[in-house]
Structure 1
Amino acid sequence: MALLAMAVAAGAGAAHLRSAPASASLEWGAGIGADTMRGLRNGVRNGRSMREGGRRVLRLVWCRSGGGEPDYEGGSDGVPSSVFIFGMGYTSLALANSLRKRGWEVAGTCRSEEKRSALESRGFQAHRFNPDNDAECLREEAIQDLHRSTHIVSSVPPVGDFDCDPVLSSHREALVQAASGGLQWVGYLSSTSVYGDWQGGWVEEEIEPRPVDRKAVARREAEKSWLQFGDEAGVCVHVFRLGGIYGPGRSALDTVRVSEKKLSTRQQLRGHKRFTSRVHVADICQVVVKAMESGQRTGRVYNVVDDDPSPRAEVMAYARALLYDEHENPPVTSDNELSEGSASAVANASLVAEKRVSNRRVKEELQVELLHPSFRSGLEAIASGSNAPFD
């Protein structure tokens, strides 16, 4: 691979030059002198933009050795985009896979050395960040990756003693520095739990959330902090309120297979709800990717759920039907059998908050067509062996 510098006449705005892959080299472009090339090298190395008289003069394009069409041109400036993901867990790893397939460069954080090694074996640049462990912060190499990124995604919830967002609390200065460079967009993965209890009514993004549960209250405060950061730093921030996440290896099918496992209090309580809004992890990925590539420059909140908020018992029954035929005797989980200690908790509205979450906005503004509009198609895909988006 070679990095070819091409002179172009561009309008206002900065073309942020980012670090080239280790295998890339700088080649001379027609009419580009030694001083310009030295500046280009420095700009690439330091993640700075190169401008002349208010006009962009250079464009970076990754091409195959010997010329030909670019392998990938990333954003509108032709510079391959990069994302830094705080908290590469189940959903974020799926997102990382989806973005890498689209040509994005991906770096991110995890909580343990074991997880870091596993992520690097998959080809991701991974760094340790564990706010539970005495606020273990990013090291210099990770900060450099953060500053080189055009996009940031955070899936780190308020945890432990934090009643605020741990990423902003630990690394606000580094994020501000990134915003003054090439950072264009930030996405925060939140939860529909921030809405609280609406007694089964429909909720959209325009309504004011009224969380009751302590974790939901902290989530809502984290949302506000990220949106405020975007306003102050001049960076587009999108908040994604995710429904109950399921996908390969983490679905009702898996619960049925290990039905002898005792359900937690929270799982038992969910079994008594009339409505639960869910979303397949593949649909989370497509919504977030569309938002990242949409070119929007204003802060926005999006509900990310399917079309079919349904009771847990209905979902579990469908999962059993997919796994066992009528001649078999499937195991039965105790979805509706609360332990003595849990029974009294049903009266607590914060634990059984009822609402149906609308996804109208992602369909209208991001033109999203859900891959799995119902838990039925999602479970059917998993049962048939689909591992998307982890394949």
Structure 2
Amino acid sequence: MPCWGRTQPKGHIENRDDMTKTLLSFGHGFSAVALAARLVPQGWRIIGTTRKAEKCDALRAAGVEPVLWDEDLSNHIASASHLLISAGPGPDGDPVLNRYRDQITTPAAAFDWVGYLSTTGVYGDHQGGWVDEATPLTPSTKRGQLRVEAEAAWQKIPNLPLHIFRLAGIYGPGRGPFAKVRNGTARRIIKEGQVFSRIHVDDIAQVLEASINRPNPGAAYNLCDNDPAPPEDVIAYAAELLQMPVPEAVDFETAEMTPMARSFYAESKRVRNDRIKDELGVVLQYPDYRSGLSALLKAEQQT
């Protein structure tokens, strides 16, 4: 059963002139939810795809029109003025292009803005060195390589007003270190020279909104805060905020970790974010993990 917020007759295509600000969000997840929270109060129509019918009610409650990924989305593509692609690529390539390349590339699909959420993993390992948007894409993981290929596939579409956003590690409400610190499962994995960049989901949303308001087709942006830091420092600070003991330090080489978790330590780099500031005028709400974690804990305590 479809879970659309409004029912449309089969074959009906809305007139884009009647709905000039319609965002179709493919893979309406954590970052897209934060963006919708900024756009819905401004009168935007947001259509968000999901693979799980049980998520539809929550999307509706947030002012988003949910639609199941398995439904035919052609009419929604035709009516959208803006596209956001959060769905990640798989071994067979980008799932959106695999299904809807023809509809997206048709001249009738004259989008005002298209945003593709990628990852800073496309830069690969730089042994703690700095990278920016001009750094060659040399991923060292399969996930990073798939993202490079997906970026290239979107870039090949002629006349598409594409903007690529390379996201560092995302945290925000419900996605932070506090739960693991509280339940005693947090560990400070120590790998000499290891640093990660990260970004609060609310700052992702404000960058996306700034880009929508100031489009620059063809641009790529790094989304991260100002303070790349060793992951063990973040865990220690979370424990300090909670007034709990700092979790034990565990050497990376001997730590029991899943292959996925271990793969994140295969790359170490510091990511520059000058472009979002200089070109889009963004002032980060949470310029470092300390301000971000402090705000998360304060919000928790107020609920």
Q: Is 2:215 aligned against 1:284?
A: no
Supply the distance in 1 between the matched residues of 2:179 and 2:249 (Cα, whole angstroms). Answer: 14
Supply the distance in 2 between the matched residues of 1:205 and 1:145 (Cα, whole angstroms). Answer: 32
Kept in 2: contact 1:259–1:332 (CA 8 A): no
Kept in 1: contact 2:171–2:198 (CA 8 A): yes
Identity of aligned residues (%): 35
Supply the distance in 2 between the matched residues of 1:148 and 1:242 (Cα, whole angstroms). Answer: 28
Q: Is 2:168 aligned against 1:168?
A: no
Supply the distance in 2 between the matched residues of 1:46 and 1:385 (Cα, whole angstroms). Answer: 40
Aligned match of 1:7: none
Residue among 292, 304, 308 paired with 2:227: 308
Supply the distance in 1 between the matched residues of 2:125 and 2:33 (Cα, whole angstroms). Answer: 31
Aligned match of 1:378: 292
Pair 321,351 (structure 1): closer, same or farther in 2 beyond 3 Å: closer
Kept in 1: contact 2:13–2:78 (CA 8 A): no
In the TM superposition, 1:109-128 aligns within 5 A as 109-128=49-68
Aligned match of 1:26: none
Aligned partner letter, 1:246? Y
Residue-by-residue CA offset, 1:37-74 (whole Å, 9 max, x unaligned): xxxxxxx964266xxxxxxxxxx7xxxxxxxxxxxxxx
Bigger relative CO (Cα 8 Å, ≥ 6 apart): 2
**How many Å apart are 1:88 and its aligned residue?**
1.1
**How many Å apart are 1:249 and its aligned residue?**
1.1
Aligned match of 2:282: 368
Aligned match of 1:149: 80
Residue among 83, 100, 114 paired with 1:186: 114
In the TM superposition, 1:272-351 aligns within 5 A as 274-296=194-216, 298-324=217-243, 330-334=244-248, 336-338=250-252, 340=254, 342=256, 351=265
**How many Å apart are 1:351 and its aligned residue?**
3.9
Aligned partner letter, 2:209? V
Pair 283,201 (structure 1): closer, same or farther in 2 beyond 3 Å: same
Pair 367,197 (structure 1): closer, same or farther in 2 beyond 3 Å: same
Supply the distance in 2 between the matched residues of 1:257 and 1:350 (Cα, whole angstroms). Answer: 23
Kept in 2: contact 1:272–1:336 (CA 8 A): no
The DSSP-based 3-state class of the residue aligned with 1:385 is helix
Aligned match of 1:227: 155
Question: TM-score if structure 2 supplies the norm length?
Answer: 0.86
Aligned partner letter, 1:283? D
The DSSP-based 3-state class of the residue aligned with 2:133 is coil
Aligned match of 2:9: none
The DSSP-based 3-state class of the residue aligned with 2:179 is helix
Residue among 5, 17, 22 paired with 1:82: 22
Pair 96,272 (structure 1): closer, same or farther in 2 beyond 3 Å: farther
**How many Å apart are 1:317 and its aligned residue?**
1.1
The DSSP-based 3-state class of the residue aligned with 1:84 is strand
Supply the distance in 1 between the matched residues of 2:263 and 2:170 (Cα, whole angstroms). Answer: 22
The DSSP-based 3-state class of the residue aligned with 1:384 is helix
The DSSP-based 3-state class of the residue aligned with 1:169 is helix
Pair 273,222 (structure 1): closer, same or farther in 2 beyond 3 Å: farther
Aligned partner letter, 1:189? L
The DSSP-based 3-state class of the residue aligned with 1:354 is coil
Supply the distance in 2 between the matched residues of 1:319 and 1:165 (Cα, whole angstroms). Answer: 36
**How many Å apart are 1:340 and its aligned residue?**
5.0
Count matched residues: 291
Name structure 2 gaps, 5 residues minimum: 7-11
Aligned match of 2:71: 138
State the structure with more CA Rg: 1
Aligned match of 2:146: 218
**How many Å apart are 1:332 and its aligned residue?**
4.7
Aligned partner letter, 1:138? E
Kept in 2: contact 1:284–1:304 (CA 8 A): yes
Aligned match of 2:15: 47
RMSD, aligned CA = 2.9
